[in-house]
Amino acid sequence: MIATKIQNRLHQIPQAWRSSSLSLAIAYNLGAELAPHCSAGASPSLPMNLQDRFVSEKLKLPQGKPAGFTISRDMVCGDQPEVSFIQNKWRSNMCALRSIRLIICLLALLTLQIETRAVEKLGPAPDDSFSIVLIPDTQAYKGAGTKSQPDSREQITNKIFQDHTEWIAENIDRQNIVFVSHVGDIVDKNVDEQWEVAQACMNKLHGKIPYGISVGNHDMTSSGDSSLFQKYFPQSRFEHFDWYAGSYAGSPMGKHISGNNANSCQLFSVGDIDFIFLHLECNAPDDVLGWANDLLKRYADRTAFITSHMGWGPRVIPKDNDEYITGEKGRMTWLKIHGKRGNTPQQMWEKCYRMHANLVAVFSGDQSRTQAFQAATVGDHGNMVHEFMQDYGSGWLRMYRFTSLKSRVHCKAITFNPRTEELCDGVSLVPAREAHQFEFEFSLQLQPVANAK
Ligand SMILES: [Zn+2]
């Protein structure tokens, strides 16, 4: 019944009114109407496409407490529906608020006449800039055996992943894209069927632009066996490219742990600026960090970036689903892979990141209930190390656009929808626009080293 109600309401919103305050008001009404049906922990019945969203966003209704929720503006009128949980204080006020919803609708109708919401779009890159694209976790697989559609018999697809790599391939020149980094959780289930789709998506970039992949916790077993990743993205796939600078040989237990491109290095240059990019697997053990430290020292005259799957999110391991959202956010002090051999993001900072004067930024994903986070910490050499996590799940793509300013580089982070090229104004869990559109600068005054290549 609720599902029908939602569907009916969605269909009532004319195309021309989308993104208007009227649809906001209708969305508000939806939330108010649904609240009474969602008490005592009962899971409301959502239309199938919205249920998929719950699964792919990894958003679960809180257990054992009133599960009021609203349908956000994006869910009603955007390409990337999102679900916002209503805080307790809002739930308790819901009944009172229902009485004024008619007024809100009327006001919305009035303002509709004068309001034109200007959606900012991604323009072409200025001639003097270049861009690096970060692909957030790409776990939104559909079809047979996937988490979102376990009973489906359809062929497995991943529309979001496909949109991402297609857009990048088509915009390499227009956006002056010089490198692509995947933060990991390339697959959702570590099975051949999903890896085949992932490889097909990444093939759209292969041979066109340098790229690297950080192996996520979903991309290997809990003991760190990344054999399937290595089957579809082995070192041999990359070693003929001049920008590919090799990978870690593998753990003492064998190449299937940490070897064969599971930890990789890329070198590229843009104008006078030389870069080293490392892709480290989730919870990289000490032997991998030793390899990374050696490379960062050997190439100390290059500006360094690192992508590693886990970084920022709930600082301590959440005790329940709610804490993934409400828990204190910070550099994570818990791990998922490699057991006692694994290093938490905080340990990776202590044992690697903080020690290198040339390290400018560390990128991560993994936390769809943190979605976006940015931090900057002074390293041991007085250099500022920026850390950015991005895991939208719902289709937003993150691009870092750089402009050289003599001894400094200015960077503009742009989060956008590759299908419409509309910029992200906010998402349900992180509503502030500046979490998704922001700028920073870094110095190019690096330490020359005798044995630099
Ligand atoms: Zn993950």
For residue 365, how far is its CA from the centre of ligand 1 (angstroms)?
7
CA of 217 relative to ligand 1 center, distance in Å: 5
Q: How far is the CA of 281 from the centre of ligand 1 (A)?
A: 11
Query: Distance from the CA of 366 to the center of ligand 1, in angstroms?
Result: 4
Q: How high is the pLDDT of residue 444?
A: 79
| CA 358 to ligand 1 centroid distance, Å | 27
Tokens 């906010």 belong to 426
Residue position matching structure tokens 């240059």:
269
Domain 129-443 superfamily per CATH: GpdQ, catalytic alpha/beta sandwich domain (3.60.21.40)
- Tell me, what DSSP letter sits at residue 35? G
- How many other CB atoms sit within 10 Å of the CB of residue 18? 14
* 48 CB neighbour count, 10 Å cutoff: 10
CA distances (Å), origin 333, targets 214, 315, 320:
19, 6, 16
What is the C-alpha to C-alpha distance for residues 298 and 403, in angstroms, rounded to an integer? 26
**pLDDT recorded at residue 93:** 53
Distance from the alpha carbon of residue 187 to the mean position of ligand 1, in angstroms: 10
Residues of 357-382 as b/e, b for ≥16 C-beta within 10 angstroms? bbbbbbbbbbbbbbbbbbeeeebeee
pTM assigned to the model: 0.75
pLDDT tens-digit readout, 362-406: 999 999 999 999 999 999 999 999 999 999 988 999 999 999 887
Strands 129-135 and 177-182 come out as: parallel
One-letter amino acid at 341 equals R
For residue range 181-236, list pLDDT tens digits in order.
999 999 999 999 999 999 999 999 999 999 999 999 999 999 999 999 999 999 99
The pLDDT, as a whole number, for residue 406 is: 79
- Name the segment(s) of the chain with CATH classification 3.60.21.40: 129-443
> How far is ligand 1, taken at its centre, from the CA of residue 30, in Å?
32
Strand partners, 37: none
Q: Rounded to whole angstroms, how far apart are CA atoms 403 and 162?
A: 28
The tens digit of pLDDT for each residue in 143-194 reads 999 999 999 999 999 999 999 999 999 999 999 999 999 999 999 999 999 9
Task: Look at residue 96 and tell me whether its pLDDT is greater than 70.
Answer: no
Please tell me the predicted confidence (pLDDT) of residue 301: 94
At 56 the pLDDT is: 37
Q: Rounded to the nearest whole angstrom, what is the distance from the C-alpha of residue 186 to the centroid of ligand 1? A: 9
Ligand 1 centroid distance, CA of 77 (Å): 29
